[in-house]
Chains A and B, each alone.
Chain A
């Protein structure tokens, strides 16, 4: 497994563990009313699990497994994939933590823009790799 996939998948697992923990706390709060402040984790829960976990894991596995170039030695445009890694994590943190920390709406907006940029960078990386496997 290439280093970038290790980073993507392990980061995804961290978001998964944190996102599950926040969901668990909100669900317990829903059942037995500990402290409504726990609902401030809502955006982080959604952002961490939908994008930080599911999307980032898919990117990690795709980077690892898609057909390679030059007799299997090259994964093509790696800088684009690294850009996607940095952007997706900046995006998840900004969009997930902005409302929790009571930051202005613009912070969540910038986060969503980073996530969209990550999608674009990843598409640029993966596009030429979607092809018949070399013999």
Chain B
């Protein structure tokens, strides 16, 4: 298993646990009538689950198992793949932080961080597609 795959899958597992704990917190809010402000965690909860866990796990397995890019570069451009990893996780963490902060305050700082997080995640997505496209082929 390549090093990047191990990083992707282990990071994904951390998000898996973290997102389901946030799911527990959301259920506790409903059950015990905790602060309505916790509702701002809804999008955090399922984006950590669907991007941090499901999508990142897919990325890890695809990078490892999909047909080779070429003989010399079996997994495509590895530098691009590492940049994707950094960008995706920086984007996820910054969004998890800034989305509730932006809901709670009107500080332009958090709006700015939210924009940066969106662009980081988006560029990570494009890097993944660019590196993977040619590896999805017959033979």
Interface residue ranges, A against B (CB under 8 Å): 1-3, 5-6, 9-10, 13, 16-17, 20-21, 23-24, 27-28, 30-32, 49-50, 53-54, 57
Residue of A nearest to B119 (CB): A24
Interface contact tally, CB-CB below 8 A: 69
Find residues 110-138 in chain B having any chain A CB closer than 8 Å to their own CB: 110-112, 114-115, 117-119, 121-122, 125-126, 128-129, 132-133, 136-138
CA distance A30 to B129 in the complex (A): 26
Contact partner of A57 (CB less than 8 A), chosen from B58, B99, B115, B139, is B58
CA distance A131 to B128 in the complex (A): 33
Neighbouring B residues of A30 by C-beta, 8 Å:
99, 102, 114
Contact of B50 with A by CB under 8 A: yes
Interface residue ranges, B against A (CB under 8 Å): 50, 54-55, 58, 66-67, 95, 98-99, 102, 110-112, 114-115, 117-119, 121-122, 125-126, 128-129, 132-133, 136-139
CA distance A69 to B139 in the complex (A): 19
Is there contact, CB below 8 Å, between A2 and B129? Answer: no
Residue of B nearest to A10 (CB): B136
CA distance A28 to B115 in the complex (A): 5
Residue of B nearest to A24 (CB): B122
Contact partner of A13 (CB less than 8 A), chosen from B98, B111, B132, is B132
Is there contact, CB below 8 Å, between B118 and A28? Answer: yes
Residue of B nearest to A17 (CB): B129
Interface of A, helix, strand, loop or mixed by DSSP: helix
Neighbouring A residues of B138 by C-beta, 8 Å:
1-3, 6
CA distance A6 to B121 in the complex (A): 25
CA distance A68 to B118 in the complex (A): 42
CA distance A2 to B67 in the complex (A): 11
CA distance A21 to B99 in the complex (A): 18
Contact partner of A24 (CB less than 8 A), chosen from B67, B118, B136, is B118
Is there contact, CB below 8 Å, between B132 and A27? Answer: no
Known: A6-B137, A13-B133. 12 other contacts (CB 8 A): A1-B67, A1-B136, A1-B137, A2-B138, A27-B115, A28-B114, A30-B99, A30-B114, A31-B111, A32-B115, A53-B55, A54-B54
Chain B min CB distance to A5 (Å): 8
Residue of B nearest to A13 (CB): B129
CA distance A21 to B124 in the complex (A): 11
CA distance A42 to B91 in the complex (A): 20
CA distance A111 to B50 in the complex (A): 22
